[in-house]
Amino acid sequence: MGRITELLDTAHNRSQANAWPFLGALLPNEAHELLQLAPGARLIDVRARAELELIGTIPDAVHIEWQSWPGWTLNPHFQTQLIQATDPESLLIFICRSGHRSYRAAAACAEAGRGSCYNVLEGLEGDLNKATGHRNELNGWKQRGLPWSQI
């Protein structure tokens, strides 16, 4: 079994065990590795544009807002923008700040018939450390030392 298959199987098993509506769930390091190995895999960053400016970006990610700030209104054109930005056969890996909005985006895309939808657990900044009130301390893309940059 190749490494791509191993990563996808792990993600699929995780999703099945939790009865999530999308094909798989990846930890940030797994998502990063899969993006390096799988031709055509695309990282879809669903954070609001303001978050990109304040928190930073991930190189080569496709940015399509799931919700817009202020007001956190749903992007009514999300599916259309996703279709325009990606190949229909692409493996899509969704990420946001914490993994919650990307969960909803991956679920919506799977429900719309897009088969290869994966969510990045923990997101870019990870879970909130309740002891300190900060993110980037427990887990997440940044905390794991994966590539990102400040705008």
Residues contacting residue 115 through CB under 8 Å, at least 6 positions apart = 23
Q: Residue 41, Cβ neighbours under 10 Å: how many? A: 17
**pLDDT band, residue 135 (cuts 50/70/90):** very high
Which two three-digit tokens encode residue 87? 């190949």
Q: Are 30 and 36 in contact (CB under 8 A)?
A: no
3-120, CATH topology level: Oxidized Rhodanese; domain 1 (3.40.250)
Give the pLDDT confidence of 71-89 residue by residue, as tens digits.
Answer: 899 999 999 999 999 999 9
Give the pLDDT confidence of 115-132 residue by residue, as tens digits.
Answer: 899 999 999 999 999 999
Predicted TM-score of the model (pTM): 0.96
Domain ranges in the chain?
Answer: 3-120
The pLDDT of 65-75, averaged and rounded, is: 93
Sign of the Cα torsion 127, 118, 78, 124 reads positive
Beta bridge partners of 119: 25, 94
**pLDDT band, residue 55 (cuts 50/70/90):** very high
